[in-house]
Amino acid sequence: MLDIFEILGPIMVGPSSSHTAGAVRIGRMARTLLGEPPVKADIGLYGSFAETGRGHGTDRALVAGLLGMKPDDLRIPESFSVAKEQGLSFVFHPAELREAHPNTAVLTVEGASGKKTKVQAASIGGGRIRVDQLDGVAVDFTGIFNTLIVRHMDVPGELATLTKVLSDGGINIANMSLVRDRRGGSVMTIFEIDQPVPAAELEQLKAVPQVLGVIYYEKEDD
Amino acid sequence: MALNSMQEIFEKAASRSIPFWRVVLETDMEERQVTEEQSMEKMRAAWHAMLESVVSYQGDQRSRSGLVGGDGARMRRYAAADTTYSGPYVQEVIATALSVGESNACMRKIVAAPTAGACGVLPAVLVPLYQMGRATEEEILQALYTASGIGAVVSFRACIAGASGGCQAEIGTASAMAAGALTSLRGGDPQQIGHAAAMALKNLMGLVCDPVAGLVEVPCVKRNVVGSVNAVSCADMALAGVESRIPVDEVIDCMGEVGRRMPMEMRETALGGLAATPTGKAVKERMEQQD
């Protein structure tokens, strides 16, 4: 999708769209994918994120995102002290990865409920991001669209049921992908969609038989 | 509908007898499924943030490395004596480009256009015009659509990240966007906008991305000045009827190609260019000791 406000924008706290704004978005995406505010985060930095991240405030930006801040939040430079107030503890270390984008972070985040999730994402330029791995599964989505991540069992007709819920709700699919671990195992289906998903449709999706979980990321500004 | 070539924008503008900026506006309305008013309001918010990034400048702010800060204020003090070579408008362009570039390095709020490293260029050419009463807000918003359209085409055909294409992709693109915006603001037709953008991009072609210690500070802040002043001269040339001998889409493709052939050391890795000078290396060592 072309969004001219990704060219003239984002409105953001400097100094780098890739190392600061993109890093905030990666942190915020990890928070959304966890589905609750994180209380613990283990953050691996790879490539240029590891090399020049500190001077660009990449570390403070990632933590700001984990706290739910957006790229234009003036508290980004002080995110470490905000994290302390809000009870988020975190560690940074260099990450060793094979063939990853040079601006990559790997975040393992844990919520108060004990729920954990692991996200590998890259900042691909101009503040745009791409999620490359979710809990060890290779994925590919950007957060430019409203995004639904549905985990379900690999049974015939499951996709038809899910897409029926979306079409009945007047929701148009822009991109879709699915990955399964093995035949008859579990599947992660990712829908990038044009409209926001109302709560009623989200509940319907969660109630579909054989669905294990639904995560919804709503894009910024809408 | 997307913005895949400048030629496509020229044809749309010609077939419906509408200005360049309106083709971009209508593309946004279609892509994001918004009304003209909604799109305009979002552009107005970007403009207000840009304006705010200029007026909120503080001459005493310093970047984390201490290398950047105070030059915007220095330029303004010198300009106050009215003895500059540049004259009333261009001296303000220079001071504004320095100010916004410095604010970005100091983790203040800016508008990436197209990137944070190049965030000073568009405000540098537009804000002084607005403050001098030489352009209304509506005219500025239209010029910003023109700029966005040019940036979108460059992003589609080439690249806008220093890591992919060097500084030419960031400051070069920002300069092309600003040149087109200024040309559109003075009633230039789509072809003239294209010539202005092409000339701006050509003049900065090959510029490497060589940030000292990997920071968006040196030489990035001052390159915002060259991007801005280049945009002013290319807009004036285009409005005078000077044409780019190489069509704008070919220039954009060429910038992408030059970027791809640029050595890795010159693409934001801080391993070449000014970053690899003895002083550049010394700054890096000092920063590492600080950490």
What is this model's ipTM? 0.94
- Taken in order B173, B260, A131, A148, the sign of the CA dihedral is positive
User: pLDDT band at residue B148, thresholds of 50, 70 and 90?
Assistant: very high
Beta bridge partners of residue A42, listed in sequence order = A91, A108
A103, B163: Cβ pair inside 8 Å?
yes
B49, A11: Cβ pair inside 8 Å?
yes
B113, A8: Cβ pair inside 8 Å?
yes
- Asked if the C-beta of A140 comes within 8 angstroms of chain B's C-beta atoms, the answer is no
B117, A15: Cβ pair inside 8 Å?
yes
- Asked if the C-beta of A7 comes within 8 angstroms of chain B's C-beta atoms, the answer is yes
B27, A54: Cβ pair inside 8 Å?
no
Region at A161 (left for phi over 0; alpha for psi -120 to 50; beta for the rest) = alpha
Which chain A residue is nearest to residue B217, measuring alpha carbons?
Answer: A15
The mean per-residue pLDDT over the stretch A145-162 comes to 96
A102, B163: Cβ pair inside 8 Å?
yes
CA distance B142 to A156: 52
CA distance A142 to B230: 34
B-chain CB neighbours of A103 within 8 Å are 163
pLDDT of A222 > 60? The answer is no
- Asked if the C-beta of A103 comes within 8 angstroms of chain B's C-beta atoms, the answer is yes
pLDDT one-digit tens code per residue, A182-212: 899 999 999 999 999 999 999 999 999 999 9
Q: Using CB atoms, pick whichever of A5, A57, A126 lies closest to residue B115.
A: A126
Which chain B residue is nearest to residue A50, measuring alpha carbons?
Answer: B214
B45, A11: Cβ pair inside 8 Å?
yes
- Asked if the C-beta of A22 comes within 8 angstroms of chain B's C-beta atoms, the answer is no
Q: Using CB atoms, pick whichever of B28, B106, B270 lies closest to residue A4.
A: B28
Of the CATH numbers 3.40.30.10, 3.40.640.10, 3.30.70.260, 3.40.190.150, which one belongs to the domain with range A146-217? 3.30.70.260
Query: How far does A163 lie from chain B, in Å, by closest CA?
Result: 21
Share of chain A above pLDDT 70, in %: 99
Which chain B residue is nearest to residue A7, measuring alpha carbons?
Answer: B114
CA distance B108 to B101: 10
Q: Using CB atoms, pick whichever of B116, B161, B163 lies closest to residue A15.
A: B116
The mean per-residue pLDDT over the stretch B30-37 comes to 94
CATH node for A4-141: 3.30.1330.90
Q: Where are the domains of chain A?
A: 4-141, 146-217
Q: Using CB atoms, pick whichever of B104, B151, B268 lies closest to residue A8.
A: B151
Quote the mean pLDDT of chain B: 96
Token pair for residue B261? 């052939």
For B40, the 3-state DSSP assignment is helix
A-chain CB neighbours of B117 within 8 Å are 15-17
Which chain A residue is nearest to residue B161, measuring alpha carbons?
Answer: A125
What is the identity of the amino acid at B114? P
Q: How far is CA B21 from CA A177, B26, B38, B72, in A?
A: 36, 9, 16, 31
Query: How far does A153 lie from chain B, in Å, by closest CA?
Result: 33
B268, A14: Cβ pair inside 8 Å?
no
pLDDT one-digit tens code per residue, B230-241: 999 999 999 999
Quote the mean pLDDT of chain A: 93
Residue B287's pLDDT is: 86
Token pair for residue A170? 């007047």
Residue A181's pLDDT is: 84
B-chain CB neighbours of A12 within 8 Å are 109-112, 116
pLDDT of B291 > 80? The answer is no
Q: State which fold the B6-290 domain adopts.
A: 2-methylcitrate dehydratase PrpD (1.10.4100)
Query: Exposed (0-12), middle (13-18) or buried (19+): which is B26, by Cβ within 10 Å?
Result: middle
Hey, of A2, A6, A58, A72, which one would you mutate to test binding to chain B, going by the most B CBs within 10 A of its CB? A2
Region at B110 (left for phi over 0; alpha for psi -120 to 50; beta for the rest) = beta
pLDDT of B28 > 50? The answer is yes
